[in-house]
Amino acid sequence: MNAISFTTLERGKATVDAASLEALSAQIRGTVLREGDAAYDEVRGIWNGMIDRRPGLIVCCVGASDVVTAVNFARENRLLVCVRGGGHNIAGSAVCDGGLMIDLSLMKSVRVDVAAKRAWVGPGATLADVDRETQAFGLALPTGINSTTGIAGLTLGGGFGWITRKFGLTIDNLVSADVVTADGKLLRASQSENPDLFWALRGGGGNFGVVTAFEFQLHQFGPQVLSGLVVHPFADAAKVLSQYREALETAPDELTCWVVMRQAPPLPFLPAEWHGKEVLVLAMCYCGDVQASEKATQKLRAIGTPIADVVGLNPFTGWQQAFDPLLAPGARNYWKSHDFTELSDGVIEVTTEAIARLPGPECEIFFGHVGGAAGRVEADATAFPQRNSHFVMNVHARWREPAMDKACIDWARGIYDAARPYAAGTAYVNFMPEDEVDRVEAAYGGNYSRLLEIKQRYDPQNLFRMNQNLRAKEGRRAA
């Protein structure tokens, strides 16, 4: 058996001999995959169809000891490391060329302690896994809006969605995490154990190690929730957005409403003549008392003359999956994102003009509204930087054919550039594509320097660099 050569991005080539590979396979409970193995292509495939990379080696882990072994093997053999949880990240950081992929997708257990309202979640679990298990007991964790997203990547970047305004970000509900650091140690991070690492994990991404287990605080919630869509003609977009921002000024924490602007998919509740035409959608969720929900959503539902209003009582697990068909894996995707402290007239003008120039039927712009409980946390309490009540714009270019790459990417970048004068400067790292490495410092705002110090402490050789990477500039090295 010949030695295998792994091409890394920064250190040339590292050679691993056959005996070392055999020893690795013998040490883990999971499996080791190489190109040509039956499951190799399935495991290396991720959500964003634009990303097609080929790891030299994949270690499919089934427990923390496997992760420790994989990290030690990568460090000792000077291999580029990537870590796959749900594989949903837009930048494609879950997969690398030529290095070692640590695959956590089999580690997807979810255990709920009903009395304590706690959940212990494996890093391979998806939001659907978490929702299914917690809602069986009338409990919930605030997460994102696409159920196929992995809990690990979402959490490490911050995590926000339909019930964030009531219960905080996902990281605000993180109690502890088990982490394998670059030196192969398994540490527990919490407010009382390795608190600096715990601070950094809450928003700092995968820069500090591989999380092998999350402990979350849960909340009594569900299983029914008032939720749904109000669809407006795009011709009314400017007026609807103006009234939308006004309605949110007095919105209670229990109410979340996001905006989606795109061509209408063939939804069964929309008249056929609207299919494929530009629309503005108000997507709302009220996570409070059902009796109060109608009054709380009245201002939003009274805006304009909608094409359809399908807001009603739904199972929360179903609402969490409502956008899954529009975000299925395999398509080519490119995102550009800004935080805004207000939805200004300038932002409205930039985005509504852009919808008139959609390069494809799956491209869209959405605004997520974040605040409430998430906004009452100090900006330096966690690594997540933007704690003001704010709007997150995601320009989501999505298409199928490589020939459309330039048109769709240019469209997204053009909107991003035009909206920059109105932006807060920070950014949600989970929405940043792989070409935004120069934006990482600004994305973390005032928390960046502390993140650098902690990165230097736990990963001084930058083993974990397949992420929105924290890297000190020359002449300003982290202490």
Sign of CA dihedral 351, 353, 359, 360: positive
User: Across 135-254, where does the E strand assignment appear?
Assistant: 139-140, 174-180, 186-190, 210-217, 219-220, 224-233
Nearest to 217 by CA among 316, 119, 110, 136: 119
Q: What is the pLDDT of residue 479?
A: 34
pLDDT mean over 302-312: 96
* Model confidence band, residue 358 (pLDDT cutoffs 50, 70, 90): very high
Do residues 119 and 138 make contact, with C-beta atoms less than 8 angstroms apart?
A: no
CA 263 from chain center: how many Å? 24
* pLDDT tens digit sequence for 249-265: 999 999 999 999 999 99
The predicted structure's pLDDT at residue 1 = 37
**Separation CA 334–CA 434 (nearest Å):** 9
Count of CB atoms within 10 A of residue 478's CB? 16
Does residue 356 register a pLDDT over 80? yes
> What are the tokens at 16?
């691993």
Q: Are 193 and 176 in contact (CB under 8 A)?
A: yes
Confidence (pTM): 0.94
- Which residues make Cβ contacts (< 8 Å) with residue 318, sequence separation at least 6? none
CA angle 390/430/316 to nearest 5° reads 75
Average pLDDT over residues 30-53: 96
pLDDT over threshold 90, residue 471 = no
**Residue 14 — very low, low, confident or very high, per pLDDT cuts 50/70/90?**
low
pLDDT higher than 70, residue 450: yes
CA distance linking residue 207 with residue 74, whole number of Å: 16
Q: Assess whether pLDDT exceeds 70 at residue 175.
A: yes
Residues 6+ apart with CB under 8 A from 291: none
DSSP notation for 369-434 = EE-GGGGGS-TTSSS----SSEEEEEEEEEES-GGGHHHHHHHHHHHHHHHGGG--S---GGG--T
Token digits of residue 287: 């996570």
Share of the chain above pLDDT 70, in %: 95
Q: What is the pLDDT of residues 234-244, one digit of tens each?
A: 999 999 999 99
How many residues in total does the chain contain?
Answer: 479
Inform me whether the pLDDT recorded for 291 exceeds 90: no
In this structure, are residues 343 and 367 in contact, taking their beta carbons and an 8 Å threshold?
yes
Nearest to 26 by CA among 64, 65, 77, 84: 65
- Show Cβ contacts of residue 230 under 8 Å, excluding neighbours closer than 6 positions: 281, 282, 284, 300, 301, 303, 306, 308, 309, 310, 311
Provide the token pair at 251: 């919105």
pLDDT tops 70 at residue 366: yes
Helix (H, G, I), strand (E, B) or coil at 291: helix
Distance of alpha carbon 161 from its chain centroid, rounded? 10
pLDDT band at 18, cuts 50/70/90? confident
Q: Is the pLDDT of residue 144 over 60?
A: yes
**Among 71-85, 171-185, 263-277, 287-301, where is mean pLDDT lowest?**
287-301
What pLDDT sits at residue 8? 42
Q: Which residue matches tokens 């029914």?
A: 224
Task: Give the mean model confidence (pLDDT) for residues 401-428.
Answer: 97
